[in-house]
Structures are given as structure tokens and as C-alpha cells.
Amino acid sequence: MRKITIVSILLIVCLIFGSAPVIARSSFSDAKKGALHVEGNGLVDANGKKVQLRGVSTHGLSWFPDYVNKKGFKDLHDKWGANVIRLAMYTEEWGGYCSGDANNRKALKKLVKKGVEYATAAHMYAVIDWHILSDGNPKKHRKAAKAFFKMMSKEFKDYTNVIYELCNEPNGGTSWSTIKSYAEDIIPVIRKNDKDAIIVVGTPTWSQEIDKALADPIKEDNILYTLHFYAATHKTDMRKNVKKVLAAGLPVFVTEFGISEANGNGKTNKKSAKKWIDLLDKYGVSYIAFSLANKAESTSLIKSSCQKHSGLTRSNLTSYGKWYYDLLRSKAGKKK
């Protein structure tokens, strides 16, 4: 009798709270059940139903490691209504995966793995981001990238909630053909461990030129192309181009955006941001805001005066943070 009562309570709890996460509950024995795949402009679940991921990106893992914690990630899911977290691992900046020493690499690997586990426990998807930036050409650290993705895809081969982002923002004149050949080198390494993993590929000019990918796509399934924008800098002209590409059906993932200027500072522009979000929503494109940090810069979601790494309240957030918190909550069907 007691058992039945407990089971019924659990069932009711599941019915009430079970609708938000699209991810398979973290029993990985049946992980493949929940796998997403790419169709049209974005992602669909095992039943072909559109899935839009919405969430936040960490800042550089080396610089803000404390935000990677179990409670904080659970908050993002339960309170904010996020269903994805991006783990931004810089490669060449100070403390980067390729610029730091072996101990640093070890610590970063550990942190990425922890991040995936915490995301999984919170029923969120996790994007593992090889965050190239000052190393504008992904081929610069191709070998290290290959070894990294080989290791990570082996580790998470049975997880359905891990997404691989091959190169944050190629820049410095790196062409699409160079990026494409880098991607074609890395994709098989991941696919060897996880044959239908979702993989996101960066595009030229800080991941703004998705039209280049449309003109010459990678001939593989389950590939999305990266689009990044910062709403105070990137406005109508860029949106026009993006709209054309989306209308043509390219699978796109906004793995990072901000509403400040492109340098992460300056004024924010919520009007332009709304236009971007409306466009992405129209095509069901997934998006992730940068960043979950309290750094004194406009693209921080958290106030610099706030020292907490979990249990954040709305009042701990910057104006940008509040705007995004409200947006995520409303999209997730949560009350104001």
C-alpha cells in the first residue's frame, strides 16, 4: 500500500514537471531513445517533433570555473527554464586549452566532464565548445582539437544530450573552405564513437557568414552551422541575410549571442535583440546567451556585485540578465 502511494506521488510529480525537459532522463542504458537529429532549420526529437534549445553559455571555463556546479545548473533548468548549457573552453587565450600547460588541460577536461554531468543531472543538453577566438583559423590547433573531440566523444558516446561545437568563431579571413576541411577532419573522429552525434560547425567572420555554408554545405547528417550575433552591433542588414539563409532551409544553431556590442561591452539594444529572437523563434532556431558570469562587462548576465555561483535571484542579474531570464521563463511556459 505504502509502495503504491509513493509510486502514485512520483507519477503525479512526473506528470507535473515532466513536460519541460526533452532529454532522456539520465539513465544512460536507454540513452539513444532521446537522441535529437537535424531536420530543416534545426533539431527534432525521436518522434520528429521540433525541439528548440534555449539556454546560457558559461564564460571561459578557466576564468569562471565556479559557475560549473550542480545546484547552479539545476537552477538554470528549473528556475530559468533553460534546456541547454554551453561549456565555453577557450583554446588560445590565457589559460586556454592549447596555450596553458598539461595541468591546465587536465583541469579543463575535468571541468568539461563535470559540466556535462551536471547538465545531464539537470536534464539539460550540453554543448562542448572548442572556443577558438584569437586563434582565428581552426586548423592552427587541429591536432589538439582532434584528440580532444576523440576523448570527449568516447567519454560521452552513450549520452544523448551532448552536442559538439567544433570551432567557436573562425576569423582573420579564414575561409569557409578551410573551416569545412577542418570540420571534415574532426567529424569522423566524433562519429566513430557516436555515429549520429549532433555537431555544430563555425562559419567565417566570427560565425556570421552562414550563407557560405549554405552555398557549400558539408555532406553529412546531423550538422548545424553556427550563427553568432551581438544585437547592438548586428542589426537589420545582417538579419536580412540570415533570414534568406534560414528561408532556404539551412540548419543553424546560435550557440552564442549577446545584446551588447560585438566586443561584449557598450550599450545593450533590447529592441534589436527582440527582432533577432523573433526571427530565430519563427524558424525554430536554438539559441544560447553569453555569458553566465559576473564580469564587469555588458554581456554578463550576472551583476558584478553578486558573488554567488548558484541560487541566483532575478535581482542578482544585470538588466540584460533580467531580460533573458524573463524571456527564457516565458518561452518555457513559466509564470512571471
CB of 16 to ligand IDC, least distance (A): 38
Q: Identity (one letter) of the amino acid at 308?
A: K
Name which of 182, 150, 189 is nearest 167 in CA terms.
Answer: 182
Cell numbers representing residue 128 in the block: 562542448
The set of cell numbers assigned to 141 is 590547433
Least CB distance from residue 61 to ligand IDC, whole Å?
12
In angstroms, the CA 94 to CA 99 distance is 7
Distance, CA of 202 to CA of 166 (rounded, Å): 7
Instruction: Please give the residue whose beta carbon sits closest to ligand IDC in the complex.
Output: 264
Nearer to ligand IDC, 165 or 194 (CB): 165
93 is catalytic: no
Give contact residues for ligand IDC (rule: CB under 6 A).
93, 133, 168-169, 206, 228, 230, 256, 262-264, 295, 297, 299
* Length in residues, the chain: 336
Q: Which is nearer to ligand IDC, 294 or 299 (CB)?
A: 299
Residue among 256, 284, 306, 293 at smallest CA distance from 130: 256
Q: Least Å distance between CB 290 and ligand IDC? A: 6
Q: At what angle do helices 142-155 and 176-193 cross, to 10 degrees?
A: 30
**Nearest approach, Cβ of residue 231 and ligand IDC (Å):** 11
- Pick the catalytic residue from 93, 165, 209, 256: 256
Q: Which is nearer to ligand IDC, 51 or 232 (CB)?
A: 232
Q: Which is nearer to ligand IDC, 123 or 131 (CB)?
A: 131
Q: Which three cell numbers stand for residue 192?
A: 566513430
Residue 233's nearest CA partner among 268, 209, 182 is: 268
Q: Which of the following is catalytic: 93, 165, 169, 209?
A: 169
Note if 261 is an active site residue: no
The catalytic residues are 169, 256
